[in-house]
Amino acid sequence: MISKLNRMRLMAITANHIFLRSIFAASLFILIFISGITYRNTVSLTDSMEWVVQSYKFQTEVEQLFSLLKDAENSQRGFLIAGDSAFLEKYFESHKSVVKSFAKLDSLQTGNPQQQKNLKFLNQLIDLRLQQYDLSLKYGSDLFLNQEELTANMRKGSEITNLIDKQIDKIIDLESSNLKERQEKYEFKSFFVPWFTLFIMLFSLFVFVLAYVKINSDLEEQKRSNKKLLISTESMKHAEAIGEFFITQWDLKTNRYIFSDNLYRLLGCEPQSFKATAENFLKFVHPDDIHIVSNGTESTRQSSMVFPRTYRIIRKDGGVRYLKSMGKIITDSKGNLTHVSVAKDITQFQLSNMALEKRNQELLQSISELESFNHVASHDLQEPLRKIQTFISRISEKDQLIMDENSKEYFARIQASVSRMRTLIDDLLLYSRTTKTDKEFERTDLNLLLENTLQELSQQIEEKNAVIHTENLPALRVIPFQIQQLFYNLISNSLKYSKPGLAPIIKIECRKIETHENPELFSDSGKEYYKISVSDNGLGFEQEYANKVFELFNRLHIKGDYPGTGIGLSICKKIAENHSGVITAKSKPNEGAAFSVFLPD
C-alpha cells in the first residue's frame, strides 16, 4: 500500500515529467522556429546578394549593348567610306551580337514594371536603328547612289542613336537607383542576419541550459525520491514481517492481482513462488471458509463495497492460521478502481479470544453457582439461625436464674454469635446485591435520599446525641436505593466509631469540582464532578490505612470493641464505582475521619 507521503512524491515526479516533456516540446518548437528563421534570413540574404549581382550584370550588359551598337555603326561607316567588305563582315557580326546582347539583357531584368517599359522602348529603337543601318548599306551599294537620301538616312540614324543613348542612360539611372536600394537592403541584412542569428543561438543556448539544469535537478530529485521510496518499500517489507500482515492489490478492470512477499511467507512458501491470482490463493483457504473469501470478492466486484472478514488458511506445512482482512477501493485519475487489502495474522489473538470465551463460560457457571449460594445463604442458612433465635427466646428469665455462671456465659455467647452470623449474612447479601443489581439510573434529589437515611438512623442519632450538619445536595442521575445505602453506611460508620463520652458531630458537605483539581483520581479531563463529603470528630485512624478500609472484611478495630463485619465501606466503594465515581478517605487518630464521594454531573 502506498502511503500518503509516497503518493505525494509520485505526484511530484509525474508533474516533473510533464514539465520536462513541456520543456522538450518547447525546445523542439524553438529549434524548428530558429531553423526556419535562419533559413529564411539566409535565403533572403542570398537573394539580396543575387539581386545586387544581377543589377551589376544588367548595367554591364546595357553598356555592352551600347558598345556593340557603336561597333555596328562604325563598321557601317567604314564600309560606306572605304567600300571594304571586311567592314561589312564585321557589321553583320556586330548586328548578331546586338541581338544576342539584348536577349541577354531582357533575361536579366528584375521585374520592375518601369524598367520593362524602358527595355521595350529600347528594343524598338534598336530595331529601328538596325533597319537604318541596313537601309544605309543598301543606299551605299546602289549604282545610282542618291546622295541626298543617304545623307537624310544617316541624319535620321544619328537621331535614333541619340535616342538610344538617352534611353540607355535612363535605364542605367533607374537600375542604379534599384542597385542602391538593393545594396542598402543587402547591407542591412548583412548586418542584421548575423546578429539575429547570434541572438537566436544565445536564446536557444539559454533554453537548453535551463532545460539541462532542470533535467539534472529533476534527476537528482528523482534519485532521492527513488532512494526514499526504496527505503519506504524495504521498511514496509520489514513492517509486514514484524507485524505479520500482507498487502494485496486487485485491479477491478483488468482482474490483475499483486501479492506482497509476506503473503507467500505467511503461507509457508517462497516469495513470488506462484502466480498472483484469486484461484491460487483460494487453494490455501480453509475449505469451511472458502465461501467467506469468495463471497467477499464477488461483493466487491459487483458493488465496489469492502467489508472486513475473518477466515482461516492452511499453510504449506499444514498449520492453520487465522487472518483478518480489511480493504479499501482506490480510484485513480482515469477512474480505474483498485482494491487494496491488508490481511493480518490474528491467530494468537483468535486463540486468546477462544480461551477467553471459554473462561467467560466458566465464569458464568461460577456466577450461576454463586447465585445458588446466595439463594442458600438468604434462605437455607438463615432458617437454622431463626430457629436458634426462636429456641433462645423460649428460655425464660426464670430458667436463666437457675443456670450456673458457666451456662449463662455460654448462653450469652450463643446469642452474640447468632446475631453476628445473621448480620454477616445480611451484609453479604447486600454486597452481592450491590454488585450484580441492574443499574437503573434515575434523576433523583439527593436531599430526599439523605433525609430518608437520617430518619432510618434516628434512634442511633438520639442515643448518641449526635449533631448532623447538612448542606444542600444536587439532583443527579443515580441508582436511588444504592445512594441511600451509601449515606446509611457512612453516617452509621461515624456514629459507631465516635469517641466515648463525646457527642458526635457529623458534617455533610457538597461542592462542584473539575477533574484537573484532582488529577491523581481522574484520567479524563474537562469533566465535572460533585464532591460529597461526610466528616466526623470520632476516633479516626492512621492515613496509611486509607485504602485498606475499603477492602472486604477488613477491620481496623477489635471485633469485640466495635460490632461490624468489615463489609460496609466495601459496599460504599462498590456503589461509587457503579456510578462511575470514586470514594476516598482522609483521617488522623483521635481527630476524626472524612469520606469523600465523587459523583459525575
Residue 170's CATH number: 1.20.1440.210
pLDDT reported for residue 509: 93
Q: Are residues 214 and 281 in the same domain?
A: no
Residue 472 located in a structural domain: yes
Q: Are residues 265 and 202 in the same domain?
A: no
Higher pLDDT, 98 or 526: 98
Tally the domains of the chain.
Answer: 3
Residue 475's CATH number: 3.30.565.10
Average pLDDT over residues 420-438: 60
Lowest average pLDDT, out of 199-208, 245-254, 344-353, goes to: 199-208
Distance CA 247, CA 5 (A): 18
Q: Are residues 315 and 258 in the same domain?
A: yes
Residue 392 located in a structural domain: no
Q: Are residues 165 and 308 in the same domain?
A: no
Q: Are residues 331 and 205 in the same domain?
A: no
pLDDT reported for residue 369: 63
Q: Are residues 198 and 51 in the same domain?
A: yes
Distance CA 339, CA 255 (A): 10
Cell numbers 485498606 correspond to what residue? 548
Average pLDDT over residues 273-287: 88
Structure confidence by residue, pLDDT tens digits, 557-594: 555 555 556 677 888 888 888 888 889 999 888 888 99
Structure confidence by residue, pLDDT tens digits, 482-531: 888 889 889 988 888 888 888 999 999 999 888 776 777 776 666 788 99
pLDDT reported for residue 144: 44
User: Domain boundary at 345, 365, 400, which?
Assistant: 345
Average pLDDT over residues 180-187: 70
Residue 263's CATH number: 3.30.450.20
Q: Are residues 160 and 251 in the same domain?
A: no
Q: Are residues 512 and 463 in the same domain?
A: yes
Lowest average pLDDT, out of 3-12, 198-207, 242-251, 383-392, goes to: 3-12
Q: Which domain holds residue 249?
A: 244-345
Q: Are residues 173 and 266 in the same domain?
A: no
* 59 within 8 A of 175, measured Cβ to Cβ: yes
Residue 414 located in a structural domain: no
Which positions ≥6 away from 515 have C-beta within 8 Å?
Answer: 521, 522, 524, 525, 526, 527, 528, 529
pLDDT reported for residue 547: 79
Q: How confident is the model at residue 535 (pLDDT cuts 50, 70, 90)?
A: very high
> pTM of this prediction?
0.42
Higher pLDDT, 123 or 486: 486
Residue 352 located in a structural domain: no
Distance CA 122, CA 164 (A): 6
Q: How confident is the model at residue 330 (pLDDT cuts 50, 70, 90)?
A: confident
Q: For 569-593, what is the HEC assignment?
A: HHHHHHHHHHCCCEEEEEECCCCCE
Burial class (CB in 10 A: 0-12, 13-18, 19+), 561: exposed
- How many residues are given for the chain? 601
Residue 517 located in a structural domain: yes
Q: Are residues 204 and 260 in the same domain?
A: no
Residue 267 located in a structural domain: yes
Q: Are residues 202 and 258 in the same domain?
A: no
Residue 336 located in a structural domain: yes
Helix or strand or coil: residue 364? Answer: helix
pLDDT reported for residue 336: 82
Residue in 552, 581, 592 with CA at minimum distance from that of residue 568: 552
Residue in 65, 63, 58 with CA at minimum distance from that of residue 111: 58
Residue 468 located in a structural domain: yes
Q: Are residues 130 and 252 in the same domain?
A: no
User: Domain boundary at 311, 345, 379, which?
Assistant: 345
Average pLDDT over residues 528-542: 89
User: Domain boundary at 184, 219, 254, which?
Assistant: 219
pLDDT reported for residue 261: 84
